[in-house]
Structure 1
Amino acid sequence: MEIYYEDHGRPDGRPLVLIHGALSGIGTSFGMILPLLAKDRRVLAVELQAHGHTPDAERPLTVEHCAADVVELLDRLGVPVADVFGWSLGAAIALRLGTDHGDRVGGLVLASVSVTADGLHPGLLDGVADLAPEHLHGSELHEEYLRTAPDPAGFAGLVTKVTALDASPPEWTPAELAALTAPVLLVFGDADIVRPEHVVELFRLLGGGVPGDVTALPACRLAILPGTTHTMVPQRAEWLAAMIDEFLESAPTTGQP
């Protein structure tokens, strides 16, 4: 399939792939932070299947399909390894890139990701199957879709595929996470949709939560943004850009540390 992308920043800079959240696009997910991240690197911002400028395909919307699409895009562009920053659904896709395509990933920035079905606050997805497209009419997400989609009438199909994905969210085993080779920066809001207990558990599964003065700093880092909801996370542009810049400067430039 054809996947829409935008190429920003320095053509010779270290590439960073941005992957947006569900029902969102480049603008609504990364409009504030993209210019900051593109100052000293090459930023490749993608739009997933059925999102934004990218048309739908005759297949379900899954993190595996979307991760494979990103790999294919990198192949077409001749980019062997890239850092990846994903938010929400985009973070799940970024994590799938790390676990299933580890040789293509340098550093991973995962914002608001859950790796088990109970990682979200209880009841948060109750009634997700009842979400109707008209519930989102007039929202920023719907307005962005109408501006960018090749078929503006396809919004209902997108909502249907997203609700199907939410009804069976992706999961990772502790063994899969332990085998992850890419360094990870975990980012969450303190009022996010992900339970804080899950955040800490994930941090530990990735090697974090150790006394760094004794054992040295682990490859996994954790940032919890104060006064920040799920949708506010990518809007904390100044905070995030500084953290991401510092983290990626220390990440390997190949798929293996």
Structure 2
Amino acid sequence: MNTAQHSGMHLEKPISSGYASVNDTQVYYQIYGEGRPIILLHGAFMTIETNWGELISELSKTRKVIALELQGHGRTPFSDRPLSRATLASDIEGVMDYLNIDRADVAGYSFGGSVAYQFAVQYPERLRKLAIISSAYKTEGWAPETNAAFKAMKPEFFSNTPMQTAYKAVAPDKTKWIPFLEKMIALAGEPYNTGDENIANITSPILLIAGDNDGLNKIELIKTYESIAGATNPDPGVMPESQLAILPGQGHVSLMYQTQTIFSYLDSFLG
């Protein structure tokens, strides 16, 4: 789903950046700060700056932040390679190998969150903690209206938008804008399901963050939380390792503007 557009004006220059050659493509990454690594996965049609600009500035004060751009997004080139969440999860592992990172926390927003779920299932040994922001691991996790919007998307909907401006500012081949949109829209219209049992069997702690009007199916969100944290807690004095936060008065776009609130949840959970 498309996403909030941060300016990235407060984002400092990364301490390093470049391309990791993985799975017949080149995945662009930026690294900020020092400390325990956290990998950030952006939403659909976004760049590092437009999704994470504000949060990187906070997280990098105490963490090593590795922000990636997924296939066809931002500086990562468009590819004729079939696009799937499983392949993108494999790309993440490849970048970790390239950067010599054994384990990391992973945070994903929207489309990046669905990829993060897939990564947790495919590579549990590489994951420490997982943060999912406004995302679902299956089609039914979105509200019916949201799924209808996915199927109705067309490339012309993105003409002269901040997303197109951000793409053109950094894309290695700006002529791939329409093919990139077509590939992403096709994927958005396909039903997907990482698997209820697979998600329930994730052993890493998970933080779920959502807005109360962000396009998710809240019944499925609660089911997800119960499957990972347990439906009941016999000792109310013991906090579960996995957590759920629903921000009031927030939609899918506005949610990512709540920088300090989201950072406070992430910092407490990951710490």
Instruction: Normalising by structure 1, report the TM-score.
Output: 0.91
Q: What is the percent sequence identity of the aligned residues?
A: 30
Q: Is the CA contact (8 Å cut-off) linking 2:117 and 2:194 kept in structure 1?
A: no
Unaligned runs of 5+ in 2: 1-24
Residue 117 of structure 2 contacts residue 137 of structure 2 at CA under 8 Å; is this kept in 1?
no
SS of structure 2 residue aligned to 1:234: helix
Deviation at 1:85, TM superposition (A): 0.6
1:71 matched residue in structure 2: 93
What is the deviation of 1:210?
2.7
| Cross-structure match for 1:221 | 243
CA contact (8 A) 1:33 1:237 kept: yes
Shift of 1:91: 0.5
Larger relative contact order (CA 8 Å, sep ≥ 6): 1
- Mapping of 1:142-161 within 5 angstroms? 142-161=164-183
Q: State the AA in 2 paired with 1:27.
A: E
Going from structure 1 to structure 2, the CA distance change for 1:221 and 1:128 (only over 3 Å counts) comes to closer
**1:5 and 2:40 are equivalent in the alignment:** no
Q: Distance in 1 between matches of 2:234 and 2:249?
A: 27
Residue 59 of structure 2 corresponds to 37
Structure 1 distance, partners of 2:254, 2:146, is: 17
Q: Secondary structure at the match of 1:6?
A: strand
Deviation of 1:120 (Å): 1.3
Give, in angstroms, the shift of residue 128 of structure 1: 3.8
Structure-2 separation of matches of 1:169 and 1:4:
28
Quote the offset at 1:131 in angstroms.
Answer: 2.8
Q: Secondary structure at the match of 1:93?
A: helix
SS of the aligned residue for 1:4 comes to strand
Alignment of 1:54-93 (within 5 A): 54-93=76-115
Which amino acid counterpart does residue 136 of structure 2 have in structure 1? S
Q: How big is the shift at 1:169?
A: 3.9
Unaligned 5+ residue runs, structure 1? 250-257
Check the 8 A contact 1:121/1:193 in 2, yes or no: yes
- Listed one character per residue, the Cα deviations across residues 154-182 of structure 1 (whole Å, up to 9, x for unaligned) are 11111111111111143132211121011
Residues 29 and 234 of structure 1 are in contact (CA less than 8 Å); yes or no, is this contact kept in structure 2? Answer: yes
Whole-Å Cα distance in 2 between the matches of residues 72 and 29 of structure 1? 22
User: 1:33·1:234 contact (CA, 8 Å) conserved in 2?
Assistant: no
Q: Which residue of 2 aligns with 1:198?
A: 220
- Within a 5 Å distance, the mapping from 1:139-178 to structure 2 comes to 139-178=161-200
TM-score by length of 2: 0.87
For residue 209 of structure 2, what is the aligned residue in structure 1?
187
Q: 1:66, 1:93 within 8 Å by CA — same for their partners in 2?
A: yes
Cα offset, 1:25, TM superposition: 1.1
The 2-side partners of 1:208 and 1:41 are apart by: 30
Distance in 1 (alpha carbons) for counterparts of 2:59 and 2:131: 13
Q: Distance in 1 between matches of 2:32 and 2:138?
A: 34
CA displacement at 1:212 relative to structure 2: 6.3
> How many residue pairs were aligned?
247
CA change 1:24–1:148 in 2 (3 A) is same
